[in-house]
Structure 1
């Protein structure tokens, strides 16, 4: 596991009326502070990658659709420096993922339906000074192959 990343499997409580699921609680101890909650929808086969932050941690949750989430540790001095890790998140695997400062992240929408991501951050977005640093999805240093491997 990349140093500082936390993966939490979510528990759904179904009954004859529907279902209930907690996503994030203050006593989970995951966010240093709360900054912002955001929502984004992406179409099938879209790749949104990579970016990282110097100030904020992110927590990602995909309530609809499915995604291949890729992390790459860019923190010099981290015991997992330059390691890449993949998570499969969404309707088929309901979970949340804490992505710490300095870990590049991105995702690819899987399947034929759009994916929705809800994410929580420790900082609010500042258009005048965005804490968002972009890296190409096909960056050769990361070297991640986004193609589905048919086995």
Structure 2
């Protein structure tokens, strides 16, 4: 018998009525909620996810003159060395959670 069989004869009769089957059907959408498929790049050293590209003003309270264009999240696994690269016209604001360390070289 396959482990995916719907035959429940192998389960004691007093338990069959207490079981339910998990559904793998797509969930019903929630009114007003949209799901976006973020760009995710991963390799053996971690991952990088582009959460959003912003249009318009993009101002941040407390950072006068700074305009956000993109929001990203990345994870670099211990021991990983990332190669550097250059952006000619870019300023970054980094958030490092208190449980992590940022090493700049």
Please indicate, yes or no, whether the TM-score normalized by the shorter chain is above 0.5: no
Task: Kindly name which structure, 1 or 2, has the bigger radius of gyration based on alpha carbons.
Answer: 2
Q: Which has the higher contact order (CA 8 A, sep 6+)?
A: 1
TM-score bracket, normalised by the shorter chain, equals 0.3 to 0.5
Structure-1-length-normalised TM-score: 0.26
Structure-2-length-normalised TM-score: 0.36
